Amino acid sequence: MLGNSIDAIGQRLLNRGRHTRRSFDATPAVEIANAYLGGVYRGDGGEHVEWSTIVWVPDGDEAFDDGSHILQMDTGASVRLIGFKNMGDTLSNDDVVELTMLPDAFYSVLARCADWYHRQIH
pLDDT digit string (tens) for 44-54? 765 567 888 89
pLDDT digits (tens, 9 = 90+) for 72-83: 999 989 999 999
* Number of separate domains in the chain: 1
This prediction's pTM: 0.88
Structural domain including 73 reads 3-121
Q: Do residues 118 and 9 touch, judged by C-beta distance below 8 A?
A: no
What value, to the nearest 5°, has the Cα angle with vertex 99 and ends 92 and 117?
A: 120
Residue 122 clears pLDDT 90, i.e. is over it: no
At 3, is the pLDDT very low, low, confident or very high (cuts 50, 70, 90)?
confident
Cα–Cα distance list, 62 to 12, 13, 41, 105 (Å): 19, 21, 19, 27
pLDDT at 2 over 80: no
